[in-house]
Each structure stands twice: as structure tokens, then as C-alpha cells.
Structure 1
Amino acid sequence: MTIDRRRFLAALGAGGAMALAGTRSAAAYQGTGRPGGARPRPAVDAWPARTRRASAVMPPDWRALKRRLGDRLVLPTDPDYPTARLGFNELNDDQLPAAVARCASPSDVQACLEVARGHGIPIAARGGGHSYLGYSIPNAGLVIDVRSMARVHVRPDGIATVGAGARLIEVYAALAAAGRLLPAGSCPTVGVSGLTLGGGIGVLTRKYGLTCDRLAAAQVVTADSCLRTASPESEPDLYWALRGGGGGNFGVVTRFAFRTEPAPLMTTISLRFPAGSVPAVMGAWQEWVAEAPFELWATCQIAGGTPPSCRVVGCYVGPEETANALVDQLIAAAGTQPTTRTVQLKTYLDAMKYMGGCANDTIEQCHPTWEGGVLGRAAFVAASRVLGPDPLDSGAVTELMTGRTGIDLLLDSLGGAVSELAPDATAFPHRSSLASAQVYAGATPADQEQITTSVDEVRDGLARLGATGAYVNYIDATLPDWGTAYYGANLPRLKEVAHCYDPDGVFAFPQSVVFG
């Protein structure tokens, strides 16, 4: 069975690994997407007006694009449209793009823009399809699907060139075969593009930095259909913006070049604590990760309930003995013994599969596709916050999660190598933060409004406790002051870069940086 790392952690916190089998409970899903209910989804008439100047007066010439792309352009009348249009979150399934272009090269992307821009429809790139709000499948718009550009090649100097459509497990497998690693996310089906462009938080972040910190160059098709290379020497402002400025704001990336590192052995950590121990464990965890060596990354996952329960899962770049000594320090500080404790030495690839919840699967099973069916999809709402440099009041967080059965709060540690760069060194501003926070709950169309309200209450409660930032890769339609929450003091420069490379708003969407 395949399950992504966030669903994996949530299910572990809800009662252990065996609970994963056959469940679609609120605690079983963690990931992407948030439609409707109390969070109004951006229908096409909610798209910024400047993207609709030509509106229905002059629709794109889809026949001309069909002549260039052939059956790789999927229109609503085509038999595979019902699955080609889908994103990861089932609650976004009523979004109906006007066309899905399966692009196999930068020239395909250029052709899409030449035909579609200036006709008043939203245009968005799609990699893994994990946009929280379904922004990568715009209603009545054009989806530029880059999944066919997924080749990963590792050069002798350790630079990895990665096609924009590659999913994380594909990247990890190719790198592992070359004895290399890239710090990135842990959900195996997430696309490398969206992850990198929003920053890229993952289980190796504290040791090796964010994914965007490893970006050496990117090949980008901008709104004028020009193919550009963004690097420190070429288009430096665009290069800066692509490292944490959010996907969809500046163009369509078709290929990345990453600086990789040799892949050492790693030790995975999993601790489940008894119900009622959240204040002690969370309080100790925050102090522990703040002082831990850069080699240690850990998440504290709190499952809502009466009382809430928690689990700590982590990854240590190094031997099992050292990882066990660090675990002993956490347990002593918490004053609470875990009910289960698992510390295991693994290879890089095995550790990434374990953190992705597909330890016993093949690489192919770790990233099921829904183009031929519905495998690998989920239905949920989610929100985020980013902590400041200081710990949160663990008692207040416990109170916030009390009674909220089915809602999970994941605190993913930052610090370490992330904090070694200045907040304006890249577009990602949260360099001094202790951790990011995800709030997640499974939902159905019938209960999503009620669940969304509760998720928002946790999000806003965290802000009152001092976690006022937010992570753009967990994009949130109703987040107050979202531009500042995502980008901090980097927002004005991001607006300038967006205006420079997309002055007509070809890629504009409701939470483009230009509207922040």
C-alpha cells in the first residue's frame, strides 16, 4: 500500500502503523488541497480582472495548438479528459479546465503560451498536481502539464539536472543510484517543481538546507514565450525569486540543476507517547530541536482529541548509536517514556521511502498515478503557520487541539543549515524560524465547511501564540495578510520581479505575489 509521509505521520499519531491499512479517516490524510466551504475557491470569475481582458470575445485557437501537440492536448471532448483534468485533492474535482496540455519539451510550453496568452483565461503549470487550492488546474483555464519532462541525470561533478515533471521519489531513486542526495520533501508523489519554488522543507533540511538552497540554475519559459536560464550569472533577479517565491508567479520552469551531496547512511526515529503527554513532549521537543546538531531533523505531530496525543518522528544523518543518545535526551527532558520506540539505520533511499510511508513498496508503487484511475488521491483541508525563533506555549497548543478529533498538527523542525542564510538571501524569508506548522483534516463535501472552520481556528490560534508566518507551499485562500505571512520583507522585491517578467499578468492567479 502506498501512502504519503504526511498521511503516514498522521495515521501513526492516530494509533500506529497498522491503522494505515484500509482507512480513509480524518487522521489518515495529509497533503494538498482545500476547496469551497468556508474557504471560497477561486472560480474563473474570481481570477484577477487583468487576466480576463479579452474574456470570451476571442477564445484561444485550440485547433492550432492541437495541430502542434497532437493528442497531448486534451480537450473536454476527448475521452481521457475526465482523468487528465484531475489534481491530487478530490475536493477540487469540480474544477474544469478548458484544456490540458501534456508538454514534453520547452518548445511545447512556448507553443501553449503563444496560443493561449492574451485571451483572458488563467494559465497554470502543473507538476505533481498537489496545489492546496487547485491553482494548477484552473477552472476554464489552460493546464500546462510538465509531467512528461521528468528525466533525472547526475553529472560526475554532482550536479543533478532534473526535469520539472519529476516526482520526489523518482528524484530520490535516481540520485541514490548515483550515491547522491538532495534535501527535499518526503511525500513521494509531490512534484519537484512546486516544492522547490516555494522553498522545499523536508527531512534533511537542517543538515543540507532547503531544496531551493541547492538550486544552481533553472530553465524557465516566461510569459513572453522566451526560454531563459536563471542562475547567479544569468537573470539573477529571476533566480532569486525562484528560490522560495512560490510556484506559478514568474513562468514555467522546465528543468532544474541542483547541487547534490554524497548520500550517507541515515537513522530513522519514531516515538509514540501516551495520551495526555503533549504539553511535556512538545515543550521538550522545541528545546531539543533548537539545540540539536544539524544532522538531526524531527517532527512533533499532535493529534487532536480529549486529550490530544503526540508522536515524534525524525531522521538523523549518522549512526544509530548517536541517534539513540539524542532520543534519550528528549525523553529525559520530557519526563515521559514513549509507549513505542523505533530507531533504525537505513540507506538514503530506504530512509526516504520510510518517511514517505512506502517503505515496502517499489518505486513505481510509491508514486501511483491517477491519470488511469483514482489511485493515490485524497480529500482534505489544510492550513499552515510558521513559528518564530521562540518556542510556542505547549500548554496553550494542547488546549487549542483539545476536543478536535480528526485534526492533526505537524510541527516540522527548521533551524540548522536553513538559518545560516539571511532572510533576503533567497525569496524564502523564514530563516530564523524554529519550525513550520501544518494543520490538516480529512474531509468530504458534506462536512468540509465544518472541518474547514475548525482548521482555521487552529491556524488563527497558532498566530495568537506567536506563529504569524505561513508557508506558501501550503497556500491558504483565507489566510489574513497572506503576502506578508508567506514572504515577509521579501514581498516588494518579488512584486518587482513578477512585474518585470510578466507585466500583463499572464500567470496571475488570486494569490499571485503581485496581489499580496
Structure 2
Amino acid sequence: MTVDRRSLLTALGVGGAAVLAGTQRAAAQDRAGLNGAGSAVSVDAWPARAHIGAHLPPDWRALRKRLGSRLVLPGDPGYSGYRLGFNQLNDGQRPAAVARCTSAADVQACLDVARGHGIPIAARSGGHSYLGYSVPNGGLVIDLRLMSQVHVRPDGTAVVGAGARLIEVYTALAHAGRLLPAGSCPTVGVSGLTLGGGIGVLARKYGLTCDRLVSAEVVTADGRLRTASPGSEPDLYWALRGGGGGNFGVVTQFSFKTEPAPGLTVFSLGFPRGSAASVIGAWQEWIARAPFEMWASCQVAGGNPPSARLVGCYVGGQDRASRLLDRLVAAAGVRPTRRNVAPKSYLAAMSYMAGCSNDTLSQCHPVSEGGRLPRESFVAASRMLGPHPLDAGRITDLMTGRRGVDLLLDSLGGAVSQLRPDATAFPHRSSLASAQVYASATPSGRRATTHTVDEIRDGLARLGATGAYVNYIDASLPDWGHAYYGGNLNRLKAVARHYDPDRVFAFRQNVAFA
């Protein structure tokens, strides 16, 4: 969900990391983008495209005339930093150019120069794509991070630049007394989160981020700036709500319907080793029956034996939250070794979930931008649970002996389940929870770690969790088109082919290739 391991574990006081996937996936979410296959598939393997002039490089000088120093080429000052994404395992990627755009017109100019040359093109918001698509080797990065304005209108509509990070969105909305349901990782970009669906800590009460999308300004492959809304480009509007980033164009601005921000209660519970199966089983039954106001993530740390913990957020007061947690503890039959429940404002709760409770807004940014948050090096994958609980004992077996690997079960249901699977492009409306498998990895250990993560991912599928979350994009995911999009796949393919017939935005898991 854009709930990342680092921020959630920080909230629990344990440390860790992971994140939501920019245009592709998120916190153990995008493994497809972050890692490769079981044998570390190269993220450079973009589909070949036959274009007249594809053998010729783009005219970067023409783009330089428009962007000036905001077009960053190899050898230019700042290139070594601007080329990097969030996952350090992708640091070998070297884009041909990074265009730091400040307007939709800049994006149009980028496409006018690059279109027809067969080079990879990727829009970057937060840079968290698990596949490294936000830093395509030899391609053009359309960096939107300078387009980060957030304006809240009197009617509560939030107009958000495509480069805004979640902490920036939360801060601006909180100052206006409003909220938007979204993820926990503070540096994830709003674009990738929304376009893949937007699983988050308030989803059970307020729905997915994409459910709140009123309209979007989009530059399509032909260079046209279009407005996607229920009354304008309705098929594109449908596809942008869960169809995945990078498939249909470059979104430059979003408009969201927000809600008044109430008081919230955050909580964390730690359970003793050896109790994971009891906690997982009780949590699944409990969250399925919980009021929409309750969201909770059940997190299993691999080991001998595995251990379980809970972190979450309740829309309402501390007393009611505590009573609901008492029911879970009683059902599990296990006394927590650690329990913290605290009321917080909307912004304080989001900062808590982000692991930034004691930081200023500027500190809750990447180190590369003057903040304190480090980049990370990890492998991740995902599955989507079905509508019914999985066998808790077999889940625990999957995590037994897997030291250094975490399984994050992030609750869905509630408001998410109130829409039909085809109401938006996000198909997993009946899912009980998303499952993120996350493991820190070094370059030398990437292959072995990927193999372990894939084994857990495939084991979950054998238990019945056959779907996957496109924001946790996964290069080796079997039958990825149906896993991400279910029954919405054919319609999405038709939309992608309509708006990008020449495959300008081609990448390995572009929906048109599914």
C-alpha cells in the first residue's frame, strides 16, 4: 500500500525500510521494478520498438534550449545525484538525460524531442519504482519533483502537482483541516501511488487514493495535454485510477476530493516469539469484522520462530480503539509484550506512520534534498489476499527460518470493498489485505535474497493469494497482467493502445504487452 517497512517499523520502534513504488509499485510493492527475476533480471531489458529514426539519438540540444540547466546530461553538475532512484540496487542505471520539469509544457517538450527514437521514457515523482523504471538505462527521466505544489480550494478539492511527495501533501492538507487517504512512506510520490491504486492507512474508512481522484491533467504520447475526468476522456480517467503508472501518459496535475480531518488514534503492539500463527489467524478474522474506521497492518518477521507485531490507525478516540484491540488480543490468546496506543492529530498520525514524529517537514525528506531519510537497498514482492483468511500456520511456515525478511499484511476491506472491481482499474476490491514481502539486500546478495522473496511470494499464491499490487511491480511475477489487473486487463490494454499506439512509453510490464 504505500505503507513502507522502514516507516512502519520506525513507528514500532524497531527500524527497517521499504517504500511505495513510484510509477510502478511501492514498499515491497514494486519488486518487479526493484528486483528482477529469481536470477536478478536486468532492468534494462525494455521491449524493442520499431520507429523510423530509432537509431538516431534525440536532439538534446533542442531540449536544452527550453530547459537550460534543468536538462541534466552525463557530465553535467548534479547528474550523479539526479540519476538515482530510491533503491540503491538500481544505482548502476545511467539514464541518457534527466529533465527537471516545472510545467506541463516542459513535459510536452520532452516528448517532442524524445518521441520516435525508441529510447525508454519514464516519469519520476518520488523515484520509488521497484523496477528502477524511474531511472531507465540509456533513457529519458522526466523528473516531476519540481512540480510539487498543493493547493486546497474552498470546496475541499486539493489540486496537487505530480511531483509532490506524501509528506508534502499531508502537511498542506492538514493546514487546511483536510485529509486524503494515502500511504505511510513520506517520500513516495503522489503520482505513482495514485496511478497504481493507492493503498494506505486510511483506506478502510475513506477508500483508495485513486477513489478520491476528481480529474487529472495528462500529457499523452502524442504530446497533447488532456484532462481526464468523468466527463472528459472517461476511458483514460478510468484507467488512471489503478491501471499503473507509465502506461498511458505523464500526469502533471491531480485534483482530489478530500475530507475534513478528524482526530485519529495510532497504535503498535508487539507479540512474543512463537505466537505468530495465533496472531495472524486472529488478526485476519478480527480485521474482516472491524469497523471501517480501523486499519491495521500485521507484520511478520522471519526467524526461528517468526514473530508478529501490529501497527495501525483508528479514525476516532483512544478508548474505542483500545477496546477493539482488546478483542484482537483476546481472540489471539496471546498477551502483547509491548502495547502503545495514543491519540494524535491527522498530521501527527501521518508523521508517526512515516517514522517522522520528531522531524520537521524539511527533515522528513531524503538526505539528498537536505532531509534525514536515507535511501535503501532491498528486494520486495507482493500478493493480494482473497476475500477469506489464509491458513495462518502455513503463512508462519513460509516465514520460518527467513531471517531478515518481513511480511507485511496491510488490511483492506471497508470502503475499498464498496466499489465493484471494474468501477476503477484497481480490481482487488474484495481483497482482505495486501501482502508485501520485503528484505534488505546487498548487490552481492541480491540473487539469493530475490530467490527467498520469490519463494515466499509463490508460497502465498499456493495458499490462495494469487493477485498482486502493481505499485509493488515485480519483474518475475508469473502471469503479471492478470495478477495486477484481473478482469480489467483487456480494457486497460485497449486504453493503452489507444493513447499510445506507437508504444512511446514501452517498458517491460507495460499493460499493452500483457
CA change 1:240–1:36 in 2 (3 A) is: closer
Relative to structure 1, the CA distance from residue 435 to residue 265 in structure 2 (aligned partners, 3 Å threshold; closer, same or farther) is same
* SS in structure 2 of the partner of residue 365 of structure 1: coil
Query: CA–CA distance in 2 between the matches of 1:276 and 1:343?
Result: 24
Amino acid at match of 2:333: G
Match of 2:181 in 1: 183
- For residues 30 and 227 of structure 1, what CA distance do their matches in structure 2 show? 31
Of the structure 1 ranges 373-382 and 222-231, higher mean CA displacement relative to structure 2 is found in 373-382
- Which residue in the other structure is 1:409 paired with? 407
1:33-63 Cα offsets, whole Å, 9 max, x none, are 523573544454x2112266643x3110000
Does residue 471 (structure 1) correspond to residue 469 (structure 2)? The answer is yes
1:365 Cα deviation from its structure 2 partner: 1.1
Deviations 1:151-190 (A, max 9, x none): 0000010000000000000000000000000000110000
* Paired position in structure 2 for 1:7: 6
Paired AA for residue 224 in structure 1: D
Question: Which secondary structure does the structure 2 equivalent of 1:288 belong to?
Answer: helix
Q: Which residue of 2 aligns with 1:279?
A: 277
**Are 2:77 and 1:79 aligned?**
yes
- Inter-CA distance 290–24: structure 2 relative to 1 (3 Å threshold): closer
Partner of 2:334: 336
Aligned to 1:265: 263
Match of 1:391 among 389, 392, 412: 389
C-alpha separation in 2, matches of 1:371 and 1:120: 32
**Residue matched to 2:495:** 497
**Match of 1:144?**
142
Correspondences of 1:296-375 after superposition (within 5 Å):
296-370=294-368
Corresponding residue for residue 225 of structure 2: 227
Given that residues 148 and 162 in structure 2 are in contact (C-alpha distance below 8 angstroms), is that contact kept between their aligned partners in structure 1? Answer: yes
CA contact (8 A) 1:10 1:303 kept: no
Partner-residue secondary structure (3-state), 2:252: strand
Percent identical across equivalent pairs? 71
Residue among 105, 110, 119 paired with 1:107 = 105
SS in 2 for 1:124: strand
Contact 2:247 2:496 in 1 (8 A): yes
SS across alignment from 2:363: helix
Instruction: Write out per-residue CA displacement over residues 200-255 of structure 1, whole angstroms, 9 at most, x where no aligned residue.
Output: 00000000000000000000000000000000000000000000000000000000
1:149 is paired with a residue of what secondary structure? coil
Q: In structure 2, list runs of 5 or more residues that go unmatched.
A: 19-25
Structure 2 CA distance, aligned partners of 1:256 and 1:51? 33
3-state DSSP of counterpart to 1:9: helix
Separation in 2, partners of 1:208, 1:456: 32
Equivalent AA in structure 2 for residue 461 of structure 1: G
Whether the 8 Å CA contact 1:47–1:122 is kept in 2: the answer is yes
Q: Is the 8 A contact 1:218 1:230 kept in 2?
A: yes
Aligned-pair distance for 1:307?
0.2
Once residues 355 and 305 of structure 1 are traced to their aligned partners in structure 2, the CA distance between those partners, rounded to angstroms, is 25
Q: In the aligned structure 2, how far is the partner of 1:227 from the partner of 1:405?
A: 49
* C-alpha displacement of 1:120: 1.0
8 Å CA contact 2:386, 2:465 repeated in 1:
yes
Whether the aligned pair in 1 keeps the contact of 2:98 and 2:140 (CA below 8 Å) is: yes
Q: Distance in 2 between matches of 1:111 and 1:223?
A: 11
Helix, strand or coil for the counterpart of 2:49? Answer: helix
> Distance in 1 between the 2:51 and 2:457 partners?
33
Whole-angstrom CA distance in 1 between matches of 2:40 and 2:325: 43
Alignment partner, residue 38 of structure 1: 38
Deviations along 1:87-133, one digit per CA (max 9) or x if unpaired, are 00000000110000000000000000001100110111000000001
Residue aligning to 1:61: 59
Distance apart, 1:5 and its partner CA: 4.6
Paired residue total: 502
Describe the SS at the equivalent of 2:123: strand
1:92–1:372 Cα change, 3 Å: farther
TM-score (norm 2): 0.95
Alpha-carbon spacing, 1:269–1:43, altered in 2? closer, same or farther (3 Å): closer
Unpaired segments of 5 or more residues in structure 1?
Answer: none
Q: Report the Cα offset of residue 370 of structure 1.
A: 2.4
| Cα separation, partners in 2 of 1:128 and 1:51, compared to 1, 3 Å | farther
Quote how far apart the aligned CAs of 1:79 are: 1.8
Matched, 1:431 2:417: no
Contact 2:204 2:413 in 1 (8 A): yes
Whichever residue aligns with residue 124 of structure 1, its letter is: A
Q: What's the RMSD between the two structures over aligned residues? A: 1.8
1:245 alignment partner, one of 228, 243, 246: 243
Residues 351-408 of structure 1: CA deviation (Å, up to 9, x unaligned): 0000011111111111225267995200000000000001000000001100000000
> Structure 2 CA distance, aligned partners of 1:160 and 1:331?
39
Query: Secondary structure of 1:498's partner?
Result: helix
One-letter code aligned to 1:109: V
Matched-pair contact (CA < 8 Å) for 2:7–2:185: no
1:10-40 alpha-carbon deviations (Å, 9 max, x no partner): 467xxx61x43xx899xxx955652357354
Q: Is the 8 A contact 1:5 1:355 kept in 2?
A: no
Partner residue in 2 for 1:486: 484
1:212 to 192, 196, 210: 210
- Residue type matched to 2:8 in 1? L
